[in-house]
Amino acid sequence: MRDHVFIEGLEIEAQIGIYDWERRIRQPLVFDLELEFDNRVPAASDAIADTVDYKAISKRLIEYVGQSGFGLVETLAERCAALVLEEFGVAAVRLKLSKPGAVRGARAVGVCIQRRRA
């Protein structure tokens, strides 16, 4: 069984990019996450302590990404996926990281990765 909690359209301002001009500004990034876990326990207890706290995950990502300074979205995506797996105990994460406006004519560019606990 694979249940998921999702966070969709989480916008975070970050310093990211490989060009000099990108290193001097903050740009919006958009995160979409699907977090795999067993929903039966929180459904039975109706207790926040038994579920994946999407507010806590969102706040942690906002803090982490806001302080980061990576050149590549690929690097940032890997680090964020590892952070969620390590700190929030989910079985797996699917993370889509979009960089709006990075390419003329495209709404956004980015990466989509899936990582599972070892």
**1 C-beta neighbours (distance < 10 Å), count:** 6
- Check if 99 is active-site: yes
Measured CA to CA in angstroms, residue 99 lies from 2, 30, 72 at distances of 29, 7, 10
Give CA–CA dist 50/3, Å, rounded: 14
Q: Which of 55, 59, 96, 99 is catalytic?
A: 99
Does the CA dihedral 79-84-87-92 come out positive or negative?
A: negative
Give CA–CA dist 44/62, Å, rounded: 30
Catalytic residues: 99
